[in-house]
Chain A
Amino acid sequence: MCIRRKQLLRLALPLVRTHGFSREALSRSVLSLPEPHPAPLNETAVSALFGKGEDARRTLIEAWLSEGLADMKNAPSKSLKDILSHRLRYNEPVLGLLPEAFATLATPSGFCLFDASPALKHSTSIADEACSVSEDKSIGPLWYARRASLAAVYTAAELHQMNSPDTAYEFLADLLQSSSKLGNAIGDVGQFASYVGRSWAGIIKSRGVLL
């Protein structure tokens, strides 16, 4: 990607608080350059750089989400609770704009009426980044299970934050605790099931059914 386009996207992010995820924010990004332009970009220039119509807004929203992902490294500690709380805090300045932003991402410009893939990509990338920052050592099926559960936890916490921002962090902590208990319970059930299975196999062998 052209460096200048990336630079303009980065300069547009602070403007989201005042101008929303809008073409106006992208247009005004040139006013924040080291050598600022005398006027914001016109519609033609915004479309040329960032896409026509809603595509430009989607570009800005995706840039904002990428910035949030990169910011997760700055969490105060490596615990999952702190990392995901830090990510929720990133949402706070633009909380009121998020429902509409996610709706815009889910409404593609093509023929589909609804596209869930941006939402899935958002939650799974946050889960993956959280595991990476917390130096998670899971391997095999546990690698996927860990990320799937964190994605579900974060999605629930973010939805809760949009409705009730004050209790979002406690809700996140409760969910993380429940999911670790659930993980332990599933592990215990699995262990018990394999024990029972081995016992039955031993009984059947001793009866001479399988030679």
Chain B
Amino acid sequence: MQTLTRRLSRPTCKFAVVRPSWTSPLPTATLRLNHTSSNQGSKDVDSRFTHFGFQTVREEEKESLVKGVFNSVASNYDVMNDAMSMGVHRLWKDEYVSSLRPGARGPLKCIDLAGGTGDIALRILDYARENYADRETSVDVVDINGEMLKEGYKRFKKTMYHNTPQVRFIESNAQALPEEQFPDNTYDLYTIAFGIRNCTSVPDVLKEAYRVLKPGGTFACLEFSRVTNPLFNMLYDQYSFSVIPMLGSILAGDRESYQYLVESIRKFPPQPEFAKMIQDAGFATGGLHEGKGGAWTDLWGGIACIHRGVKV
């Protein structure tokens, strides 16, 4: 915690198109002990709590704490992802993007939230280019964390998309995308991969996703989820809580940040609950079950999961 507290300083960032709203006081909210209710104006100032991993913290602190975690992990984010998942995260991200088939029916205007290091954005652009010779699809990479965006910008400098209209990097808060920068009914595809569980209010993120998508636009979320098989779940828990924080300590010198990452997975709602939240935000989805015709698809038994919804 001390490490995290020391890292709460505001970063400097080259991408200051829009300043994130954590720099200004958050609106007041009623008591929320879970992520299912959204921020609403309220006179009750004293009781605003949420989870930060297994800890309970004040809402206005969570964004800063999460920011601190990602400031800490930004420079070795990809290395750590490879180490923790033994490279499997690449397969999940490939499956995620290929299931969306960007560019199949013409160029898409995409927005990738919590997309700091540019993993998903690069995959979307490569998929559209390699499969459909599409060089018009564009992705706006949005992240609340400037350090993560820096890493993404550096990665894109090595590609053919650097300095083209196909990619932009914007620092902003997924829960409150400024309307002048992100007008209503703008995007064909909204993606968020391994980021939504770090947001203070998931319903607010979903509400903003609905707002910025065009009618017929798709919301797709890749996130860690609940393993359905009890035996596999036990092994997964053992691995998560023993190996991952240790890897964080050895490879990145930051056990606490990786402990948070593991804990935050357990606090995220299970698949049916999250699918219901997507429906409540106004999206049309498949049925509340997994697989064909369902609102989500489990990957590797539920370790990761892809939820989809369409703005109809």
Interface residues of A (CB under 8 A from B): 1-2, 4-5, 8, 30, 33, 37-45, 47-52, 55, 59, 109
Distance A43 CA – B188 CA, assembled complex (angstroms): 11
Contact A8 B312, CB 8 Å, known A39-B216, A45-B218, A49-B286: yes
Query: A40 to chain B: which residues have CB within 8 Å?
Result: 216
CB distance from B19 to the nearest CB of A (A): 31
Instruction: Answer whether residue B99 sits at the interface, using C-beta atoms and an 8 A cutoff.
Output: yes
Instruction: Answer whether residue B102 sits at the interface, using C-beta atoms and an 8 A cutoff.
Output: yes
Query: B100 to chain A: which residues have CB within 8 Å?
Result: 44, 47
Instruction: Answer whether residue B215 sits at the interface, using C-beta atoms and an 8 A cutoff.
Output: yes
Contact of B101 among A37, A41, A47, A50 (CB under 8 A): A47
Let me know if B287 and A45 touch, CB within 8 A: no
Let me know if B99 and A59 touch, CB within 8 A: no
Distance A5 CA – B188 CA, assembled complex (angstroms): 19
Contact of B293 among A30, A38, A45, A59 (CB under 8 A): A59
Distance A20 CA – B279 CA, assembled complex (angstroms): 29
Query: A55 to chain B: which residues have CB within 8 Å?
Result: 292-293
Let me know if A5 and B105 touch, CB within 8 A: no
Interface residues of B (CB under 8 A from A): 99-102, 104-106, 108, 188-189, 215-218, 220, 279, 284-287, 292-293, 295, 308-310, 312
| A5 (CB) vs chain B CBs: closest residue | B284
Distance A69 CA – B76 CA, assembled complex (angstroms): 58
Let me know if A44 and B218 touch, CB within 8 A: yes
Let me know if B188 and A44 touch, CB within 8 A: yes
Contact A4 B104, CB 8 Å, known A44-B189, A52-B99: no
Let me know if A48 and B220 touch, CB within 8 A: yes
State the 7 A-B residue pairs at the shortest beta-carbon distance, nearest first.
A4-B284, A48-B308, A43-B104, A1-B287, A45-B310, A44-B218, A37-B215
Query: A44 to chain B: which residues have CB within 8 Å?
Result: 100-102, 104, 108, 188-189, 218, 220
Query: B188 to chain A: which residues have CB within 8 Å?
Result: 42, 44
Query: B215 to chain A: which residues have CB within 8 Å?
Result: 30, 37-38
Distance A188 CA – B106 CA, assembled complex (angstroms): 68
Let me know if B287 and A2 touch, CB within 8 A: yes
Distance A44 CA – B220 CA, assembled complex (angstroms): 10
Distance A42 CA – B102 CA, assembled complex (angstroms): 9
Task: Supply 8 further A-B pairs (C-beta < 8 A) apart from A8-B284, A43-B101, A49-B286.
Answer: A4-B284, A5-B285, A30-B215, A33-B312, A41-B216, A41-B310, A43-B105, A44-B220
Query: A41 to chain B: which residues have CB within 8 Å?
Result: 216, 310
CB distance from A123 to the nearest CB of B (A): 23
CB distance from B147 to the nearest CB of A (A): 31
Query: B308 to chain A: which residues have CB within 8 Å?
Result: 48-49
Most A C-beta atoms less than 10 A away, residue of B284, B286, B310:
B310
Let me know if A47 and B99 touch, CB within 8 A: yes
| A1 (CB) vs chain B CBs: closest residue | B287
Let me know if A30 and B216 touch, CB within 8 A: yes
Let me know if B108 and A42 touch, CB within 8 A: yes
Distance A50 CA – B106 CA, assembled complex (angstroms): 20
Query: A37 to chain B: which residues have CB within 8 Å?
Result: 215-216, 312
Contact of B218 among A33, A48, A59 (CB under 8 A): A48
Contact A30 B101, CB 8 Å, known A2-B287, A49-B284: no
Distance A8 CA – B312 CA, assembled complex (angstroms): 9
